[in-house]
Amino acid sequence: MLAILKAEDVSLVYESGLIFKKRHEALKGISLQLQPGKTVGLMGPSGSGKTTLGKILAGIERPTSGRIFFAGRELGTMNKSETTAFRKAVQMVFQDPEGSLNPKKSIEQSIAEVLAMLKIPSGRWKDVTGRMLEKVGLSEELLCRYPGQISGGQCQRVALGRVLLLQPQVIILDEPTSALDISVQAQILNLLKELQRDLGLAYLLISHQSNVIRFMAQETIVLEGGMISEQSSTYSHSSPGNKPQNIA
Amino acid sequence: MSAILADAAPILQIEDLSVSFDTAAGQVKAAENVSFVLHRGETLALVGETGCGKSVVASSIMQLLPGNAHIQGRAVYAGRDLLGLDEREMSRIRGSEIAIVFQNPSLALNPIIRVGDQVAEMLRVRKGAAAVEAMQKARDMLSGLGLQGEKKMRMYPFQFSGGMNQRVMIAASMILSPRIIIADEPSKGLDGALAKEVMAEMARIKNQSGASLLLITHDLNLARDISDRMAVMYCGEIVEIGRSEEIFNKPLHPYTAALLDCLPERGFQPIPGSSPSMINPPSGCKFLPRCPKGSERCNRMPGMATVEGMSTAFGSSESIGREVRCWLY
C-alpha cells in the first residue's frame, strides 16, 4: 500500500551563539512511512527527539534537511490549496489533555471554533457536534462545561473529537494516554483502534510504554540521540504483508 | 514488600470517615464510610482511579482539608482521635510522627531555599539538631536517594526535575523517622526504572525505622510490588480490602476485576461507561451502572462483608479476612 505520509532522510540541527556557533543535532537521517489503517510506534528515552519528529511530520516544525511527502507531494513545494489540504489531513494530539483545550472556553465553544473554521453553516453545528460526541463516546451534557470541570479522559476525548471533525487521514499521537489512569487509558486506546478500523486512519504513536506500542502498532521505531537505533515489525499484530523495513 | 511482623498491632484506625465539600453545583461526597486499619510496620496501598477520594482520605487524616470540607468519623492514632485535635497538637504530630509526601513536589517545596537546607531544616526545627549535624544527615539521606554531592545540596527546587524534587520531598519527610508515612502518588512524574529505585529506597528506609506506610496510588503494579495489603476505592468508598497478592490473583469485587483487566498485561480491556457523579451518586451500589454482574438487589446499598476462607492476616497475632462491598458475597 502507498504511504500517505513519508519522511526521507530528515535531520534537524539547532544552532546557538552568534560567533562561536554550537550545534546540536536533534534528529539525524530519519526515514519512515505511514500507511492508511496502520500504526507506527515511536519509542525512545526522553530527549531522544520523538516529539520533534512528530512535529516535523505534522508540519509544525521544519527540518534542516530532508524531505517530507504527503500523498506523493513534497512539503514546501505545494500550492496554497494543497497546503490547506495537508494541514487538515495531518493532525496532532498532545500528551496533556487539559493543555490542549482553552481553559476559558466551554467545550461547546472549543468545538464551535473548529466548525466555524471549516465554514460549516451554524444551522448544522448541533447535528455535527452530536455525531462527533457519539463517535468519541461523550454525552451532550458536557458541552456547557469548561476543561477544568471534566476529567482528563474526557478532555482527551474532546481533543480527539475536534481533530476528527477535520476528517484527517493521519494523526500524530504524542503520548496520548500517559497522563491518564489505566482504566481511561484502556478506553482511549480501544477507541483509537476502533476509529482506525472505521476511518482507515494512519497513526504515528509516540509513547515510552512498550506495552502500549505492542498493543497498537504494526511497526516500531526506537529513537536514541536523534537517530533510529532499532526498527522492527511488532509481533502478533503485524500482517504478513507488513515486513520490517530497514531504512536506518 | 516488608516482612510480616509478629507484632501487628494497629497504629492507625480509620472509622467511618466521610468527607463532603460544599460547592456551587451541590455537595460533593468525596469519601463515604471509609474504614480501615493500618498496622505497625505494614504497607497498605489505597488504590483507585483519579477522583475516587484517595487523597481526600490522606488529607483528612492530617487535617489538611480546606474550610468547605465537612468531615465525620474518627482517625485514631496512639489512642487519640486526630480529627478532634487542635491545630497546635496536630502540628506537633505532622512531620515528626506522621509524615506526608505530596504528589506535586514542585509545589510542596520552597522554591527559594536550597534543597539541602530544606531537608536539614526538619531536624533543626523539630529535633533542635545543630546545623552541621543536620546538614550531614540531610546529605546522607539525599545521597541514599540518588542525589549525591555538595553541588546538589546547594541547588534550588526549580533547578531540579520533578523526579529529583520528589526525592527531596521523600528525604524531608523521612528524615525525622516518623511512625507513619503517607505517600500520595510518590511515583508520579518518575519514569519506570527511577520510580522502582525510589520506591525501593523508600521501602528500605521504612523497614529500617519500622514505620508504617499508607501508599496512595493509581499504579496497581507498584501497589502489588510494595504493599502488604491493598484497599480498592471507587467513587469515595472502599469496595474491597485484603492482601495485595490475593486481590491481584483473585479479585472478588466486579470493579476490582474490571480495573485489573485494564492493565497492559491483561490486554487493556476497558470498563464500559464512566465514573458516576459524586454530587448525585447512584443510591445503591455505586458500580451498578457499569457492573456486568448487577441485579435487582444492587439498587440497595451493600455493606462490607467479610469473606470466609480467604484469610488475609497481617502478622501472626491477628487474622483479618478479605472484605468486599458487594451483594455477591
Number of domains present in the structure of chain A: 1
Q: What is the pLDDT of residue A111?
A: 94
Residues linked to residue A5 through DSSP beta bridges, in sequence order: A34, A70
Q: Which residue of A has its CA nearest to B221?
A: A182
Q: Which residue of B has its CA nearest to A182?
A: B262
Q: A45 to chain B nearest CA, in Å?
A: 10
Choose the closest CB to B220 out of A46, A154, A182: A182
**CATH number of the CATH domain containing B212:** 3.40.50.300
| pLDDT tens digits, one per residue of B214-239 | 999 888 988 998 899 999 999 999 99
Per-position DSSP letters for B179-248, written without gaps between them: SEEEEESTTTT--HHHHHHHHHHHHHHHHHHT-EEEEEES-HHHHHHH-SEEEEEETTEEEEEEEHHHHH
How many C-beta neighbours within 10 Å does residue A8 have?
Answer: 16
Whole-model pTM: value is 0.81
Q: What is the pLDDT of residue A241?
A: 38
Choose the closest CB to B50 out of A152, A211, A215: A152
Chain A residues with CB under 8 Å of B263 CB are 182
Spatial distance between the Cα atoms of B95 and B122, rounded to a whole number of angstroms: 8
Rounded to an integer, the average pLDDT of B25-48 is: 92
Q: What is the pLDDT of residue B6?
A: 41
Q: A232 to chain B nearest CA, in Å?
A: 21
B42 in a domain, yes or no?
A: yes
- Asked whether residue B318 carries a pLDDT value surpassing 70, the answer given is no
Cell numbers linked to B271: 470498563
B287 in a domain, yes or no?
A: yes
Spatial distance between the Cα atoms of B62 and B75, rounded to a whole number of angstroms: 9
| pLDDT tens digits, one per residue of B1-17 | 444 444 578 999 999 99
> Which position has the grid cell 496502520?
A38
Contact B167, B84 (CB under 8 A): no
Chain B within 8 Å of A154 (Cβ-Cβ)? yes
- Asked whether residue B310 carries a pLDDT value surpassing 90, the answer given is no
Q: What is the pLDDT of residue A218?
A: 95
Q: A156 to chain B nearest CA, in Å?
A: 14
Are residues B270 and A186, on separate chains, in Cβ contact within 8 Å?
yes
A107 in a domain, yes or no?
A: yes
Chain B within 8 Å of A211 (Cβ-Cβ)? yes
Query: What is the enclosing helix (H) or strand (E) of B74?
Result: strand B69-77
Spatial distance between the Cα atoms of B272 and B293, rounded to a whole number of angstroms: 13
Are residues A208 and B191, on separate chains, in Cβ contact within 8 Å?
yes
Chain B within 8 Å of A46 (Cβ-Cβ)? yes
Rounded to an integer, the average pLDDT of B36-60 is: 91
A238 in a domain, yes or no?
A: no
State the residue range of the domain holding A114.
5-15+24-233
Residues linked to residue A220 through DSSP beta bridges, in sequence order: A41, A232
B66 in a domain, yes or no?
A: yes
Cell numbers linked to B116: 539541602
Contact B213, B181 (CB under 8 A): yes
Query: What is the enclosing helix (H) or strand (E) of B151?
Result: helix B150-153
Choose the closest CB to A211 out of B264, B271, B275: B264
Are residues A151 and B262, on separate chains, in Cβ contact within 8 Å?
no
Spatial distance between the Cα atoms of A209 and A188, rounded to a whole number of angstroms: 15
Spatial distance between the Cα atoms of A35 and A204, rounded to a whole number of angstroms: 10
Q: What is the pLDDT of residue A209?
A: 85
Q: What is the pLDDT of residue A235?
A: 53
Q: A241 to chain B nearest CA, in Å?
A: 24
A51 in a domain, yes or no?
A: yes
| Higher per-residue confidence, B12 vs B318 | B12
A244 in a domain, yes or no?
A: no
Query: What is the enclosing helix (H) or strand (E) of B32?
Result: strand B26-39
Chain B within 8 Å of A184 (Cβ-Cβ)? yes
**For an interface test with B, which of A150, A154, A182, A236 has the most B Cβ atoms less than 10 Å from its Cβ?**
A182
Contact B77, B93 (CB under 8 A): yes
- Asked whether residue B312 carries a pLDDT value surpassing 60, the answer given is no
**CATH number of the CATH domain containing A114:** 3.40.50.300
For the sheet with B26-39, list strands across it. B26-39, B10-23, B69-77, B80-81
Contact B325, B232 (CB under 8 A): no
Q: B113 to chain A nearest CA, in Å?
A: 28
State the residue range of the domain holding B291.
10-97+178-324
Are residues A183 and B270, on separate chains, in Cβ contact within 8 Å?
yes
Number of domains present in the structure of chain B: 1
A242 in a domain, yes or no?
A: no
Per-position DSSP letters for A94-150, written without gaps between them: -S-TTTTS-TTS-HHHHHHHHHHHTT--GGGHHHHHHHHHHHTT--GGGGGS-GGGS
Are residues B271 and A208, on separate chains, in Cβ contact within 8 Å?
no
Q: What is the pLDDT of residue B189?
A: 65
A239 in a domain, yes or no?
A: no
A247 in a domain, yes or no?
A: no
B157 in a domain, yes or no?
A: no
How many C-beta neighbours within 10 Å does residue A129 have?
Answer: 21
Chain A residues with CB under 8 Å of B271 CB are 183, 186-187
User: What does the pLDDT profile of chain A (248 residues) look like in tens digits?
Assistant: 689 999 999 999 988 888 888 888 899 999 999 999 999 999 988 778 898 999 999 999 999 999 999 999 999 899 999 999 999 999 999 887 778 899 999 999 999 999 999 999 999 999 999 988 888 888 887 888 888 878 778 888 899 999 999 999 999 999 888 777 888 889 889 999 999 999 999 999 999 888 899 999 999 999 998 999 999 887 544 334 343 443 33
Are residues B271 and A187, on separate chains, in Cβ contact within 8 Å?
yes
Q: Which residue of A has its CA nearest to B257?
A: A183
Q: What is the pLDDT of residue B317?
A: 40
